[in-house]
Amino acid sequence: MSFSASLSGLSASQQKLNVIGNNLANINTVGFKASAVQFSDLVSQSVGGSSVNPMQVGLGVTTGAISPIFTQGGFDNTGIATNVAIQGAGFFVVGNGNDQSYTRAGNFSFDASGMLVTADGMPVQGYTQLDPVTGQVIVGGALSNIVIPPGSLLSPIASTEFQTSSNLDAAAAVDDTFTSSVQLIDSLGTTHVATITYTNTGVGTWGYDITVPGVEVTGGTAGTPFSILAAPGTLVFNGNGILTSINGTNPPTDVALTMPAWANGATAGTVNWDVIAANGNATLTGFDSASATTSVSANGTTAGTIDTISINSAGELVASFGAGKSMTVAMLAMATFNNQLGLVKLGSNRFGASDAAGQPNIGGAGMGGRGTVVGNTLEQSNVDIAQEFTQMILAQRGYQANSKSITVADEVLQDTLALKR
C-alpha cells in the first residue's frame, strides 16, 4: 500500500474543500460564478506478471480541472436605475483601453464626475457615438468610458421624419378644408409647427399644402404662412377609400420635404413625410367619415438638461429630460467568448481573457448570441447550497478514507519492521 497514493487523495480532497469553501463564502456575492473540481487519476505503474491483460497499480489522483460554472443566477430587483443583470450569455466590459476585464456583476453607479463605474470604481465600457441623423447609438468601433456629468445638457437632434394618421371625409364638398399639424425640431432645437392643409378638389381627390409661420423663415413675413412645398400636392383615393396616388405617383410613396432657411440660423435639412407606414399601408384614408387626425408623431429632440437615466433591455442608457422627453445617450458593451471556461478569475467579480478563452466577441446586448439586459436588477450568485453541502460531505468522506488508508499503511509497515526483530 503506497503512502504517496493516499497522500495525493488527501491533497485532492483538500483542494475540493477549498473550492467548496470559496463557493459558500461568495453565496451572497453579486454575479459570482461557482467553481467545480474535476479529478484525474495519475499514471498507473505496471507490476508485471503472466496475466494476459495488463497488470497495473495506480499511483494516486490529481486535480484535473477547476472550472467556473456559468449557469444563470437568480435575479434581485433593487429598483436602482444603474443596477443591471444579464439574461443569457455574455459579460459586461469594464476597464480602460486595452486593460479590459469582464464581469457579470452589474451593480454600477455614477461617480462624482458622471462616469459609470463598477462597485470598486472600474470604468464601465460602452458605445457613446450617436448617429447625427437618427440619434441612435452606433454599435461597433472603439469602446469608451460612459460619462454623463450631472445636469448634462443634451444636444438637440433635428427632425428627419414625421407621420400623421388622418381620414379625409369622402362626403366633403369641393373646397372644404381640413388641417392637421405636427411639431418639427430644427438643428438648434427650436420647435416649428408645420400645418398640413387639405382641400377637397372633387370626388376622391384632395390637394394639400404644408406651411410654417412666415416669421420663422428667412425672407418670410409675420402673419403669413410660408409654404415648404415647391408646388401644391395632390392625393387620390379609390372607391374603397384607399390612397392610390400622391403627387401623381402610383403607388403612393413617402414625400421628401426640403426645409426652408430658418430665421434663427438653424441648418436647413430634409424631412420625410412617412405617408406609407412600416406595414405597407397608407397613413391617409378617404372613408365616408368625418375628417380627423388620430395620431401624429415626429422624431427629433430639443436640447434639455438630463433628469434621470435608465437602462433598457438593449443595454441602452436612456436620458429623460423635461415633459416626458427622452433620448438614448450610450449603450453598454457586452462580450462573449468561444470558450468561456478558459477565462481567468481576477477577483472583484471580474474575469480576464486568455488564449484558452479566445478573443472576446464584443457588441450590443441581444446581438450575436449575447443575452439581454434586465434593468433595476442584479444577478445573484449561482452557488447551490444543497449541491455544495453534498459535495462537502463527499470530499470529507474522501479525506477520511485516504487518512484511514495512510493509517493502515503505517500499521502494515510497523508490522513488517517487527518481523525483523
Query: What is the SS3 assignment for 375?
Result: strand
User: How far, in Å, CA of 174 to CA of 111, rounded?
Assistant: 65
Distance CA 343, CA 204 (A): 68
**Residue-level pLDDT at 7:** 83
Tell me the average pLDDT across 395-401: 86
Mean pLDDT of 388-409: 86
Q: How far apart are CA 198 and CA 179, in angstroms?
A: 6
Comparing CA positions, the residue from 271, 303, 350 lying closest to residue 100 is 350
Question: Is residue 289 a contact partner of residue 278, using CB atoms and an 8 Å limit?
Answer: no
Q: Taking the chain, what is the end-to-end CA distance rounded to the nearest angstrom?
A: 22
- Residue 420 pLDDT exceeds 70: no
What is the reported pTM?
0.71
The residues, ordered by sequence, that sit 6+ positions from 40 with a Cβ below 8 Å of its Cβ are 61, 62, 63, 64
Q: What amino acid is encoded at 215 in this protein?
A: V
Helix (H) or strand (E) holding 377: strand 377-379
Q: pLDDT for 304-330, tens place per residue?
A: 888 889 999 999 999 887 666 788 899
Give the Cα separation of 41 and 363 in Å (integer).
42
As a whole number, mean pLDDT of residues 168-187 equals 96
Q: Chain-wide mean pLDDT for the chain?
A: 90
- If one counts every other C-beta atom within 10 angstroms of the C-beta of residue 8, the result is 21
Contact 109/127 with Cβ under 8 angstroms?
no
- Residue 316 CB contacts under 8 Å (≥ 6 apart), including other chains: 137, 328, 330, 331, 332
58 has a pLDDT exceeding 80? no
Helix (H), strand (E) at residue 407 = helix 385-419
pLDDT band at residue 28 using 50, 70 and 90 as cut-offs: very high
Q: Please, what's the b/e burial string for 381-410 (b: 16 or more CB within 10 A of its CB; e: otherwise)?
A: bbbeeeebeebbeebeebbeebeebbeebe
Residue ranges, comma separated, of all CATH 2.60.98.20 domains in the chain are 161-302
pLDDT at 323: 63
Q: Which CATH class is domain 161-302?
A: mainly beta
Tell whether the model's pLDDT for residue 421 goes beyond 60: no
Helix axes 385-419, 3-25, angle to 10 degrees: 160
pLDDT value of position 243: 97
What is the pLDDT at residue 155?
80
Confidence of residue 157 (pLDDT cuts 50, 70, 90): confident
Q: Percent of the chain, pLDDT > 70?
A: 96
> Which has more confidence, 403 or 363?
363
DSSP string, 18-77: HHHHHHHHTTTSTT---EEEEEEEPPEEE---S-SS--EEE--EEEEEEEE--PPPPEEE
Question: What pLDDT was estimated at residue 307?
Answer: 83
